[in-house]
A = this chain, B = another copy of it.
Amino acid sequence: MNQAFRAGKTATKDESVIKKILDETGAMIYSIPMGQTPPETGAIIYKRIIEITDIPDPYHNIKQQNIRQALELYPELKVKIESSDDPLLTAIRLAVAGNVIDLGIDKEFDIVKDVEKILIQDFAVFDYDKFRSRLAASKNILYIGDNSGEGVFDKLLIEQLKLPVIYAVRDTPIINDITLNEAEQIGLDKIAELISSGSKAPGTILDKCSDEFLEVFNNADMIISKGQGNYESLSDVSRDIFFMLKAKCRVVARHLNVKVDDIIFKYNTGKI
C-alpha cells in the first residue's frame, strides 16, 4: 500500500487518481497469495498503476535526478577508490552505498551523507575472502543491477573487477529500477555487456526471466546480485551468488539474521 501510494504521488498530483490507485491496490490484496514475494506483488501492482495513470514510467524524473547526483559524485569516488589501500574493497563498499538510493523503499536520503556513513560502517555479513578467491578463479561475471542511480556505483565496482562482465537490467520500467536506457546513459555499455533479465518485476524471478538471461545465469563463473528485490527473488535458488545489499525492511533483515539498516556482503553457496 505504501509503495502504491508513493508511486501514485510520483505519477500524478490528482488526488482522485491516487485514491483510485489505493482503492484498486487494496482490492487486489485478496488475490495475492501469502507466499508471494514482494517483487512479484510489486510487478502486479505497478502494472495496474501504469494502466490507471497512463504514465509508462512514473519514476522517470526521479531516476534522472538520482543518476545526475550519482554521476556528479563519480569522479571523486573514482579517486577515493584508486587512492585507497584496497581499491576492490572500497569499490564494493561504494557499490553497497549505491543501494541506499532506493525510493521504492526509502522516502528520503542524502546521497553524500549516506555514502560517507556506509564507507565506515561494519558489514553484518562479510564474505570478502570468498569473493576474492572466487574472483581469482573466474573468467567472467554476471552482475545483476537494481536501482537506476545505483548503476553509477556499480560502474565503479565493475571497473575494479578486471574481468568481462555481463550487466543485467530489468526489461521494463518498474519503480526506480535500472533498465537498458538508464544503463546506457550511465555508460555501463562501455565497460560491460548489457542484457535484459526479461524481468518486469523489481527483482529477478527466474520463472519469468528470458531464456537468454537464464543461459547466462546458469553458466556464468560468478554472480553478483545487488539489492533487496534481487535477494528476495534469488536467495532460495540453487545457484551460488554473492549478494550485496542493505537490509531495508524487517522481513529481509530477519531472513538474513541481521538488523534493519545493516549492510550485507553475503555468499550463498546455493546448496539446498
Q: Which of A22, A25, A27, A29: most chain B CB closer than 10 A?
A: A29
Q: How far is the CA of A264 from the CA of B265 in the complex (A)?
A: 44
Q: How far is the CA of A105 from the CA of B19 in the complex (A)?
A: 22
**Residue among B22, B24, B34 making CB contact with A19, cutoff 8 Å:** B34
Q: Does A28 contact B (CB under 8 A)?
A: yes
Q: How far is the CB of A44 from chain B (nearest CB, A)?
A: 13
B26 touches A30 (CB 8 A): yes
Q: How far is the CA of A22 from the CA of B41 in the complex (A)?
A: 15
Instruction: Collect the chain B residues with CB atoms within 8 Å of residue A22's CB.
Output: 29
Q: How far is the CA of A238 from the CA of B16 in the complex (A)?
A: 29
Q: Does A86 contact B (CB under 8 A)?
A: no
Q: Quick one: copies of this chain in the complex?
A: 2
Q: How far is the CA of A267 from the CA of B26 in the complex (A)?
A: 38
Q: How far is the CB of A176 from chain B (nearest CB, A)?
A: 21
Q: How far is the CB of A40 from chain B (nearest CB, A)?
A: 16
Q: How far is the CB of A35 from chain B (nearest CB, A)?
A: 11
Q: How far is the CA of A1 from the CA of B29 in the complex (A)?
A: 11
Q: How far is the CA of A28 from the CA of B25 in the complex (A)?
A: 11
Q: How far is the CA of A28 from the CA of B27 in the complex (A)?
A: 8
Please name the residue on chain B nearest to A250 by beta carbon: B107
Q: Does A23 contact B (CB under 8 A)?
A: yes
Q: Does A76 contact B (CB under 8 A)?
A: no
Q: Does A15 contact B (CB under 8 A)?
A: yes
Q: How far is the CA of A9 from the CA of B37 in the complex (A)?
A: 20
Q: How far is the CB of A197 from chain B (nearest CB, A)?
A: 30
Q: How far is the CA of A144 from the CA of B16 in the complex (A)?
A: 34
- Interface of chain A residues 10 through 55 with chain B (CB within 8 A): 15-16, 19, 22-30, 34
Q: How far is the CA of A23 from the CA of B15 in the complex (A)?
A: 24
Q: How far is the CB of A32 from chain B (nearest CB, A)?
A: 9
Q: Which of A1, A16, A19, A26: most chain B CB closer than 10 A?
A: A26
Q: How far is the CA of A27 from the CA of B16 in the complex (A)?
A: 17
Q: How far is the CA of A29 from the CA of B30 in the complex (A)?
A: 12
11 more contacts with CB within 8 A, not counting A26-B26, A26-B28, are A1-B26, A15-B34, A19-B34, A23-B29, A23-B30, A24-B30, A25-B26, A26-B29, A26-B30, A27-B29, A27-B30
